[in-house]
Structure formats: structure tokens, C-alpha cells
Structure 1
Amino acid sequence: MASVEFKHPRIAPVFTGAFAAHATVLADDLGLFRALADTALTDHDLDRPPWVENRIRIEGVLNTLCRIDAVRRTADAYRLTDFGLELGRQAPVFRLWLGGYASVLADQISGAVDPRSGVRGGVVAESSSQIGSRYIDETFIQLVDSLQPAGRICDLGCGTGRRLLKICRETGQPGLGYDISADAIRAAQATVAEARGLGIDLEINQGDATTLPRNVSGVDIVTQAFMTHHIAPDDYCTAVLASYRVRFPGARYLVVFDTVSSSDPEHPELFAPGFDYIHALQNMEPRSRADALRIFDEAGYSCQQELELAVPNSYAWVLKFGSDGP
């Protein structure tokens, strides 16, 4: 299966190490090595000053260092290993190159940074499209096609629109896409032009899925891939998902693909280390599968189908729109 590739015995440790190197610098910044050299840090400690203001980031750092056995979690406490103690002593070397020359390193990877989020939207859109094409799109297309769409397919967070175009070609239905990134929308214009050449009705607009116009007509199926976890906190996510039932009157299904928190943190692979750490730095706590299902239910959807995906810790859910608005 494709998912095996995410656990390649030589590639995965290199990938995990990249995040662990960054976490080493941040741990030093936050004073974690000094604190852990003296005693363990418990969950109770992290809920109190001076740690509580950065609790999610700190947990992200500590859990990333757990992956390389620099820190170990036992019961409710984090402790430095002998290796972690030495890593802390060598942190100035990491800081010199990764901290002092962070801009030099980052500037070698192309793509404009969104000043609001600090994210290179074009890189995210293109990389996500490539990962999706390899591991996700076939499943996504088959799942949407199995629902026998009879109207517009609206993809929220469509990126470059490549997946949406594939779905439209397979189902013979028109497509509507929204993405918040201006870089992604610029890249999507090539997709729209290709669709036009194929005689496919495809429209892609810049827009925030949480503030879409009401009464978007003609939409039968709404899709949302790997962005639901960005809508936080939970009560706000519930409200946003519930709002789709007003924004898309007449839609039958919401198809959600998303990643949840890792259930196997001890074994590194190529997706979970990045997912968990980056979102911790953004002060977002990844949801569990149970959390996601609860939110769908509270938003007024009934889960008709669940599929485990090739991407680790990721699922597809087919959610049926309720008959009444929120």
C-alpha cells in the first residue's frame, strides 16, 4: 500500500530529524533543557506559569524530542534522557546555524510568505496537490462519484484546483472552488484554463471557507480536504460546519478528508511528525478521531461512511446534510 512509503526506514528518520533540530533550538529558547536538567515537567506544571502561556507549543516541542529519544514521557511527566542532556549542551551549535541563519535557509525554498500567517501559500498548495495526486485523489474521486452527484461540486480549500478538475471530469458535473491563498488562486488559473479547453464548467475564487456568501446555489456536494483541523477552537469549527447547511441550500453531502492526532507517536514516519509539530507552533492542538466525529454530530450531520486513507492518521468521512438549518 502507498502508506508504507511514509515509514521508509531511512527517509523517515531524516524527515523527523529536521523537525527535531528545529525543536532543539526552540526548546533552548523556552528554557526547557535547563528546567528538565533539574527535574521532570508534569502536565500540572505545564498548566501553570511560566509554561502555561506556551503550553501547546511546549508540548509540540517535547513530543517532537520524544521521537528521537531526547525526552521520554512516562505517566504524566516529561524527562530528559542522557542523550537529551547532551543535546541541550550542544544546543548553541544548533542555534548558530538554524537560528542565526534561519532566513538564509528559508530563502532557498521558493514561495512568497503570507504576512498574516507566515505561511508560503503557493508552496503549501503545490506540495499538497502533489501529495494528493499520489496518495489521495483516486480515493477522493471514487468516493464523490459513488454519491452520484447531480449538481455542482464545491471544494473548500481547493488549492490549485487540480483535484477538483479531476472530480469534474470523472463525474461530468461542474465545479466551484474556494481557497484563501492568493498564491493558490493564481496557480489555479492554469487549471481553470485547462478546464475551459476541455469544456468543463469550473470556477475558482479566493475566499475564506468560514465566511462564504450565503445561498450558493446549485451545489450538490461540498468537499473539504485537510483543512478542517485549521478551524479552531472546537465550538467555532462546529459553528462553521453548521453554517454550510445554510450557505449551500439543497446540498446533500459534505465530504471531509482530514488528519487527526497520531495514535502511534513512538514510530516516526513522513507525515505525523510534521503535522503535529507545525500545528503546535501555530498554537493548534490536533484533534483526535473521536473529537472530529463529535464535532460533525454537533454540527448537525450524520456520518454515512468512514474510510481510512493512505496518508497516516487520516480519514475520509461522508456526512449527510441535515434537513434543517442551524
Structure 2
Amino acid sequence: MTHGPIETTYTAAPDRYERIGYRRTGRSGLDLPAFSFGLWQKFGADRSFATQREIILHAFDLGITHFDNADRYGPPRRGAQQNFGRVLATDLARHRDELILSTKAGNQIGPGPYQRGGSRKSLLSSLDNSLRDLGTDYVDIFYHHTPDPDTPLEETVGALVSAVQQGKALYVGISNYLPDRAHAAAELLERAGVPLLIHQARYSIYDRRPELNGLLDTAGADGFGLIVYSPLAQGLLTDKYLETIPDGARARDSAFLSPDVIDETYRRRTAALNKIAEARGQSLAQLALQWVLRRPEVTSALIGASSTAQLDHNLAALDFPELTEAELALIDEHGVHGTGLPG
């Protein structure tokens, strides 16, 4: 299934493993980079492939070995996987053993009954398509993307186990599960001899549900890692929206961020957080990334980028001193849970 070798001008940076730290994923033997690269947005057919390739290769040069995908990322659906597959074939094929490739299935990707949900049919069919998209024989991590209350958890877990037994995935994960269901999945997987590696959850200064609902505690008790997405709250934890909504900003054209949430309360809180960051000599984005990584349960934070410069800026968050107790208390004061979240 793997694409044949194609001529490339790319040579990986020889010092790539000196630029970023790696953290152990729960009780497994797998290390992931502190920052993983997500292809959720800006890696579909509506964006320049040359720019996508440049960013992906730059990420690898910086030591980011984990690239996170899903069957629904695009546009169109599967578009981001197909674009990454092109880069894998032309530039990264010789480095496949250095990469952690993940994909997810379960969110709706079409009108048919087998294009959504946690059934064995839906998950394993999607995985086969994802392997074709990526041009690889296996993924390192295969996730169930979102809970499906209409399918027995035993069936969903059984499909994840089968993916490993068939050699199509090395590890399995879940995403967006509440703690009780995550614990139940972890127990079922443990009994099947395929431990739950990782849970992908939304977490940021403005979205503290993993703290409030006990998911962080569940991860520690059950021994799985957490990889967090939207650590910058879709750009709300940057200085971008402090005064206005700029032309071309995500809030103007994204299905995931409404301009309605950018109100005076949001701006007041964000301005205060920005002052904390400035006092540390860093940007608000860098502060927000450091904040999610402060928790030992968090293995990695997913970041995206629309340019190599943005990627460099975000990774520089690792260069700053740890947050002090006084700084964390100030962040708690102004970083109110629910800020910027849809009502």
C-alpha cells in the first residue's frame, strides 16, 4: 500500500531531536513531542499545497514527530489526509519509522449510515480508507473520534482492538469522551490486552472541562495520556481580537468560532491575561500553551499553523521559565472557564 519512492529535494534537519522535549504517554512506552501537529484546519483543498508541505516539513525539522489527522478533515472530507499522504510519499517516506501518524473515525463524514458512529463497520471501513489516503500500511494511533451512545461500547472497543490485531494500528485512543465512558473504555481495552494509550480532549485557559469534570484524574488513575486540542481556544487566547476582528481572521469565516463571543467581557479578561504574558516577556499564545502543558497528565498539545513563522513562535513557548504559583493564581482570576465558548 505504501507509495513508491519519489525524488525529493528535502533533507531533514540533523539537529531536529535537540529542539523539543518528549513526554511519556501515560503508562505506555511511547514518547510524544510536547507539541504535536494537527491538520484539523487549513490543510484541505482550499489551501496552497506548497504552503502545507513547507509547514509540515518545517514541523518535522523542529522535532515534531506526531501528525494528527481524521477522516473528516478537509475540505473535502479526507482532504487533509490525502494532502499529508502526498508529503509522506514525496518527502517523508524514508522517515516513516520516525513518525507517529494518527487518524480518527466516528464523526459524520457523509449521508450514509456507515459514515458516522462507533459501529465496527464504520470504524474499520474508515480506517481502511484512511490508510489509502495516507499511503501507509498502518497508523500509529487510531482514535474513536466522538462518543456514540447508540452503539454498545463493547462493539466500538472491539473495533479498536481489531485494528491493532490486524496490524493496521499500533495503539488506540478515544476523543471527546466524558470521564465515566473513558474509564469504561479503558477497562474494556485493558481486558482485551490493548491498553488505552491516549485521550484527545479540548482544554485551554478558557475551557477547563478536563479539570472540572475529573478527566485529568481519570487519566492518571487509568494510565492513559492526554493530548489536548484548541489550547489557544481557536485564536481567542492570542492578542488578535483585543481591539477588533481583523480581516481574514478565523472568527469571520469559521464554523468553530463565532464573532458573537468576542464581546467586552472577553476583551477585558484577555487583555488582563495578555498583561501577564507581557510581564513574562512572551506572547499570550505562548503563555496559553505553557499553561496546558503544566499538567503532568497532559502528554502533548496539538497546534496548527498557517505559516512556518507561526509554528516557530508557538514552539518558543518551551523556552520560558515555568509558571509560578502567583502567576497561575492570576491566570485563574482572569481566565474564567466558559469565556468565548458558545452559549
- Same-fold call, TM cutoff 0.5: no
Larger Rg: 1
- The normalised TM-score by structure 2 is 0.30
Richer in helix (by share): 1
